Structure 1
Amino acid sequence: MFGAVMSDAENCRRFLEMAAGFSIERVEVIKEKSMVYHPEYKGVRLDVFARDEKNTHYNVEMQMLPQAELGRRSRYYHGQMDAETLLSGSTYGMLPDSYVIFICDFDPFGEKKYRYTFENRCLENPNLGLGSGERTLFLSTAGENEEDEPEELVQFLKYVKADLEESESSFEDEYVQMLQKAVRHVKESRELEEKFMVLEEMLQDEREEGRTEGRALAVIELLETIGEVPQSLREKILGQTD
């Protein structure tokens, strides 16, 4: 569900702005991007991969259960994203900035913060950054420092933490309301797909009798009583008449 909702460019853009803390004009989203560069080495499948207008790369992962190796996992994800960004002959200065963002339904570091941000800095002088262009963020639904974070981020994480009944309740935050609408749309679309699979056999049975076009329109009308029928599904149903 998370990947389906974030595959919408505007949903993803708003989230990235909120998480990273800066303005983003537009994003291109690739859901469940696979990266396998050699069969002998571990590949990864990113939940959500996006690029913005400045070619900054973002990987967003939903993490429901605690995992001891999240830090090293984030390092591997950064490396996997970097591996496909430079063509032969390119300079390192062309390497884009990258963000790996984990949305955790737990506190990954036990500091009761809603957001943990990491980047490469000098231990002897924390004001001296390495300039590698990579950041790793952990967003936690178990944070308690509401006074330190934007209300929009806090409300989003409360929405993520909510159980099914609570997640459908009224939230004052406009972005959460947008996500609730997107979730309902995804659920309705999946329900329509399931209904169509049941009705598809009926269309096949009617094909030889020359009445498939009328039957297809009837199926569409039936599905419309449940919710809006996506254009792709409408075309698939009508395609049964060919």
Structure 2
Amino acid sequence: MQKRCLSDLTIKNDFMFGAVMINPENCKEFLERALEIEIDRVDVSREKSMVYHPDYKGIRLDVYAKDENNTCYNVEMQMTKKPALGRRSRYYQSQMDMDILLSGREYAELPDSYVIFICDFDPFGERKYRYTFQMQCKESNQTPLEDGRRIVFLSTCGENEDEISKELLAFLKFVKADLKESREMEERFMTLEEMLKDERKEGLKEGTVKAQKRIVSKMLSKGLSDEEIMELCDISLEELENLKNHR
């Protein structure tokens, strides 16, 4: 099946943000748009957990990636406005640092890191599509701290279209249009994803064709369209019709 561009992906194709970003090419393209940088390649982890002590709050990162320079990226989808978002970003970044720097290593070995929130609201009320934060000396605008940290908030509710790239604007408009459907369908597809994992494991035991028939039957019973089933199972319309006729 032909690979889709990031701008073509919808919740009906990949079902949730994490499923899209786990693809290294999609994640790389997003990061380049969001940060206006060039990246050669990225390694991506989905739902990376960081728990260092039972007495302290652990976190689970939606998407965690590293590029060829070992720069680290955490990308979070934020659908509703919650208090202390800035402090949350601070905690996430501190946990990332703990995960990166092992005992006995030098502080200079800490790589650059980004925490990126994609917000379906305006987190600061300034009508910006992007808010970028990094440490700066209060007494001198010419003196950056150079600690390698950046926190970026992307908003689907901005109005400053002339201040960001057309590619980032197109992505944020895509997110804005798609989030409503995502909210309604997320639980359904999370259940479906678990079902698929189980069915595929069974398919290794009983044969691919028989397993596909059972998967298609369950998908139809859950009300999925032919297009959704073809996308999930990576089959053609002809193959789908054949499975439907012989289930």
Whether the TM-score (by the shorter chain) exceeds 0.5 is: yes
The one-letter amino acid paired with 1:117 is T
Which digits, 9 at most, give the CA deviation of each residue in 1:134-186, with x for residues without a partner?
Answer: 0000000000000111011111001111147999xxxxxxxxxxxxxxxxxxx
Partner SS for 1:227: helix
In the TM superposition, what is the alpha-carbon distance from 1:194 to its structure 2 partner? 5.4
Aligned CA distance change for structure 1 residues 34 and 217 (closer, same or farther; 3 Å):
same
| Contact kept? 1:107, 1:113, Cα under 8 Å | yes
Distance across 2 between alignment mates of 1:127 and 1:114 = 25
Distance 1:33 1:192 in 2: 18
- Alignment length, in residue pairs? 198
Q: Give the aligned partner of residue 239 of structure 2.
A: none
Where in structure 1 are there 5+ consecutive unaligned residues? 168-186, 232-242
Q: Give the secondary structure class of the aligned counterpart of 2:230.
A: coil
TM-score normalized with structure 2 length: 0.72
Paired position in structure 1 for 2:220: none
Match of 1:63 in 2: 78
Output the amino acid matched with 1:24: I
Structure 1 SS opposite 2:114: strand
Task: List structure 1 segments (4+ residues) > 4 angstroms apart after TM superposition.
Answer: 163-167, 190-197, 221-225
* Residue matched to 2:11: none
Structure with greater Cα Rg: 1
CA-CA distance at 1:45 after TM superposition: 0.4
In the TM superposition, 1:18-167 aligns within 5 A as: 18-163=33-178
Q: Report if aligned partners of 1:192, 1:223 keep a CA contact under 8 Å in 2.
A: no
Output the amino acid matched with 2:165: P
Whether contact under 8 Å (2:196, 2:215) holds in the other structure is no
Q: Which residue of 2 aligns with 1:217?
A: 209
**In 2, Cα distance between equivalents of 1:50 and 1:164:** 23
User: What is the RMSD computed on CA atoms of the aligned residues?
Assistant: 2.9
> 2:230 corresponds to which residue?
227
For the residue of structure 2 that corresponds to 1:59, the secondary structure is strand
Q: Larger relative CO (CA 8 A, sep 6+): 1 or 2?
A: 2
| Cα separation, partners in 2 of 1:152 and 1:73, compared to 1, 3 Å | same
- Aligned equivalent of 1:234: none
Superposed displacement of residue 5, structure 1:
0.9
